[in-house]
Amino acid sequence: MFTRLLVGLDGSPGADAALEAALRLGRRFKTTVVLAAITDIRLLEAPLFETTGPLWTEGLPVAADLREALDERAARILETATARVAEAGLACETVRAVGLADEELIRLADQAEAIVVGRRGELHGEAGTLGAVTVRIIKHSPKPVLVAGETPTPCERPLVALDGGETSNHALVLAARYAEALGIPLTVVHVSDDAAAGDELLARAAAFLAEHGVAAATHRLAGDVTRGVVRCLADTGADLLIAGAHGGRRHVWAFGSHAEKLLKAASVPVIIHR
C-alpha cells in the first residue's frame, strides 16, 4: 500500500512538513513520491483585484512579472524537493500546475494512493488552525489524506478513532492494511456514553482485525469525543491517528465538528479517510 504518494508543495513550512511525512512513510513502503508544485491562482489575481478604475491596466505587467517569479520559485521548490526524495532513496515524479491549489491536488489524486498535505500552506491561517486549502482537500478528496503533524513521527504506533460510521469503517480497513503490511499492532478507541453499544462495536473491530492477523488493543471512553481521542493518543503513546471524515448516524463526526477538532487538537500526523 501507499506505493504512490502525492505531495502538495508551495514553499511553506506546512508543505515542508508534508514532504517529510511522505518521506518517512515512503521509506516503509518503497513509495514513489509525486511532487506537485501548485501555484495558487489567487496569488496571481491578487495584484489585479487590488487595482481598480484607470489603474486596472497597471496591474497587468505586475501580474505578468509575478507569474514569472512564481514559476521560477516553483522550479526551485521542485528541485530542492526532488533532491530530498533522491536522498531518501525513493523514486520521484514531478508535476507543475497553476489553479486553485485544492482543486488541482484533487484532480491529480488519481495518480496516487493518498494525498499528503501540511496543516497550513502558503494561504494559511493562524498557528493551531487548519488552512482553508487543507480543509477543502479533506472534504472533497476521493483518496485518503495524510495531514502532517506539528512534528515528524515514525508513524509506527497507529491509533484508530472508531465510531461505527461508513467512513470510520473505511478508516479501520485502511488501518488494518497498514498494520498488516508493517507487522505492527493497532490501538482502537471509541468514545461514547453508551457502554453496551460501544463494547459491541469494539468487539467487532477486534474480531475483524484478528481475521487479518493484526493484534489490537481497544479502549472505550466516555465524554467528549475530541478530548477522549487526544487523551488516548497521549496515554498510549500513539504517533499516528487514523479517522473517518464523517461519522455514523448515532455519533455524528461530520467534518467541521469532531473530525476537524481532532485535526486541530492532535499534534501527530492524521490520516482522514472518506
Q: Are residues 117 and 189 in the same domain?
A: no
Same domain for 118 and 166, yes or no, is: no
Q: Domain range spanning residue 191?
A: 158-273
* Residues 134 and 169 grouped into a single domain: no
Q: Which of 121, 147, 173 is the last residue of a domain?
A: 147
* Distance in angstroms (rounded) separating the CA atoms of residues 247 and 259: 9
Asked if residue 152 belongs to a domain, the reply is no
Q: Are residues 110 and 73 in the same domain?
A: yes
Rg over CA atoms, the chain: 20
Tell me, yes or no, whether 104 and 130 share the same domain: yes
69: in domain? yes
At how many degrees (to 10) do helices 195-211 and 166-182 cross? 40
Under a CB-based contact definition with an 8 Å cutoff, are residues 35 and 85 in contact? Answer: yes
Question: Which grid cell is 214?
Answer: 493484526
pLDDT recorded at residue 187: 98
pLDDT values of the chain reduced to their tens digit, one per residue, 274 residues: 899 999 999 888 999 999 999 999 999 999 999 999 988 777 666 544 444 444 334 444 445 677 788 889 899 999 999 999 999 999 999 999 888 889 999 999 998 999 999 986 655 555 556 788 888 898 899 999 999 998 899 999 999 999 988 889 999 999 999 999 999 999 999 999 999 999 999 999 999 999 999 999 999 999 999 999 999 999 999 999 999 987 554 443 444 456 778 888 899 999 999 8
Q: Are residues 128 and 170 in the same domain?
A: no
Q: Largest alpha-carbon pair distance within the chain?
A: 71
Is the same domain home to 38 and 130? yes
Task: Please check whether residues 225 and 119 belong to one and the same domain.
Answer: no
AA letter at 146: L
Look at residue 139 in the predicted model and tell me its pLDDT: 87
Q: Is residue 102 in a domain? A: yes
- Domain count for the chain: 2
CB 272 within 8 A of CB 142: no
Please report whether residue 253 resides in a domain. yes
Residues 8 and 143 in one domain: yes
**Which of 123, 147, 171 corresponds to the end of one domain?**
147
Out of 147, 166, 191, a domain closes at: 147
pLDDT at residue 83, rounded to an integer: 98
CATH of the domain at 199: 3.40.50.620
Three-class secondary structure assignment of the chain: CCCEEEEEECCCHHHHHHHHHHHHHHHHHCCEEEEEEEEEHHHHHHHHHCCCHHHHHHHHHHHHHHHHHHHHHHHHHHHHHHHHHHHCCCEEEEEEEEECHHHHHHHHHHHCCEEEECCCCCCCCCCCCCCHHHHHHHHHCCCCEEECCCCCCCCCCEEEECCCCHHHHHHHHHHHHHHHHHCCCEEEEEECCCHHHHHHHHHHHHHHHHHCCCCEEEEEECCCHHHHHHHHHHHHCCCEEEEECCCCCCCCCCCCCHHHHHHHHCCCCEEEEC
Q: Is residue 153 part of a domain?
A: no
> So what's the pLDDT on residue 58?
43
pLDDT of residue 45: 61
Does 22 reside within a domain?
yes
Q: Which three cell numbers stand for residue 48?
A: 489585479
65: Cβ contacts below 8 Å, ≥ 6 apart: none
**In Å, how far are 42, 48, 77, 97, 272 from 73, measured between CA atoms?**
16, 20, 6, 13, 30
CA distances from 96 to 43, 70, 164, 171, 209 (A): 16, 11, 39, 30, 40
Give yes or no: residues 134 and 177 share one domain.
Answer: no
Residue 86 lies in a domain: yes
Query: Do residue 63 and residue 187 come from a single domain?
Result: no
Which grid cell is 18?
508534508
Verify that 108 and 196 share a domain, yes or no: no
State the residue for C-alpha cell 499516528: 240
* pLDDT for the residue numbered 164: 87
pLDDT reported for residue 56 = 37
